[in-house]
Amino acid sequence: MDLYDQAKEGMTQVEGMISGLPVISDYRNKELRRDADKKLRQRIANILENDRRKLTGLQRDMTMAGRLHVLPEMERVVGRLQLLIDRIRTAAYGYAPFYDAQEIREEELDQLIDFDQQMADQITIIGERVDTLAATTQDDEAFDDTLSALMDDLVLLHEQFDQREQVISYLAEQ
């Protein structure tokens, strides 16, 4: 069951009757999709926040072990990850013109949810890289390679999120 269906199930019986009215039904479906999209992005941000906490703990461990030479790059990675988390979280209602437009079709809202779902599917690599990073603390070359790959993955996710914003802008202009 997807997030849209879960949100729809959460409606009360009265809301269900009211949402059957033609004009209200369209509005309600948009609101449910908007809510589903927000919940999905919150879930993505929470997963990434957990990864950020692991990285911060790893930074502390590296400091205590005297491996200070890796800290500047780790700080850049943590900063890039925090920026992505913030962008995902704050996008929730920043695109009101898109959602408020009278002619936005449900297919376009579904396209946005699909976009966020694809991003959710891709963030698992971040957690895998963080776990690999933790496992390679004793191997400088493997650690550096994994840290570099993690930064590359974060750059790609930022670019993907930029594309999301472009899609929203395009759809809002239609």
DSSP the chain: --HHHHHHHTS-HHHHHHTTSHHHHHHHHHHHHHHHHHHHHHHHHHHHHHHHHHHHHHHHHHHHTT-GGGHHHHHHHHHHHHHHHHHHHHTSSTTHHHHH-TT--HHHHHHHHHHHHHHHHHTHHHHHHHHHHHHTTT-HHHHHHHHHHHHHHHHHHHHHHHHHHHHHHHHHH-
Q: What is the predicted pLDDT for the residue at 84?
A: 95
Mean pLDDT of 135-144: 94
What would the pLDDT profile of 25-82 be if each residue is shown by its tens digit? 445 566 776 777 788 888 899 999 999 999 999 999 999 999 999 999 999 999 999 9
Q: What is the predicted pLDDT for the residue at 4?
A: 57
Q: What is the predicted pLDDT for the residue at 37?
A: 75
Q: What is the predicted pLDDT for the residue at 93?
A: 45
Q: What is the predicted pLDDT for the residue at 41?
A: 84
What would the pLDDT profile of 78-119 be if each residue is shown by its tens digit? 999 999 999 998 874 434 444 454 445 667 667 777 777 788
